[in-house]
Amino acid sequence: MQLSTDQLLTPSGETSKVDFISGVTILIDKPIGWTSFDVVNKIRFKIKHGLGIKKIKVGHAGTLDPLATGLLLICTGKLTKSIDLLQAKDKVYTGTIHVGATTPTYDSESVPDAMYPTDHITPTMIEEARLSFLGDLRQIPPVYSAIKINGSKSYELARRGSEVEMKARPVRIERFTLEVDTLDEQKEIAFSVLCSKGTYIRSLAYDFGNALDSGAYLSSLRREAIGEYHVKDAFTMDEILAFLDQAFGQ
């Protein structure tokens, strides 16, 4: 699905007449520390207050974790019906993987729970591990995710101490590139990934560590693109809030 120019809200687009009820999709560069819901809630509040209405549908096409940054597609009004189509698009991520440790959340949101040797890792091992993740895979999502199990989110069950069994899901990784072929003292590897809907980059980092006979976790993440929509065309939060204030004469 490709949106027409009057349905797409970007800083450089035509923004003189915006119909939030009929629906627009707003490109947002989500800052670190914000949840996807924080962004949706803030924009919904601004639109409701600006239009003087009590209710309007606002949603996002694909969650980003609080520590991740990058492209978030926000849909309003009738265009919230297009969220599933937007979510189905391939996505591009960049970030860093820390090798030599694991965390319960598979990222830097939690502290390492185990340390692993890295001296044995060679450029050949790194390349073989990289190649092993290309194509169609079955990936086990992180326990600390929003996947629902018997009506409860898996991360809620995990935080309560319940044992959670995550089932493998089919995903596809079209591209997985690394900026280095050896580890430095910081044991950080920068990467870029083009992947299908449903791919957990945290799980990719964790599995990458296993493939190196070590451990790893996702130390940073940025979503660069969703289908044909790119973060370079997105509003920052300050920009979208200023735009909405101006649009509603506030």
Strand intervals (E) in the chain = 8-9, 25-30, 58-60, 69-76, 91-99, 101-102, 114-115, 135-139, 148-149, 152-153, 169-178, 188-195, 216-226, 229-230
Amino acid at 68: A
Could you tell me if 50 and 247 are in contact, meaning their C-beta atoms sit under 8 angstroms apart? Answer: yes
**Cα 27 to Cα 11, 52, 118, distances in angstroms:** 9, 24, 40
In 3D, which of 125, 127, 104 has the Cα closest to residue 114? Answer: 104
Q: How many helices (H) and strands (E) does the chain have?
A: 6, 14
Residue 247 in 3-state DSSP? Answer: helix
Joined together, the tokens standing for residue 112 give 């390492």
Catalytic pick among 29, 65, 107, 207: 65
Please indicate whether residue 65 is annotated as part of the active site. yes
User: Which residues participate in catalysis according to the annotation?
Assistant: 65
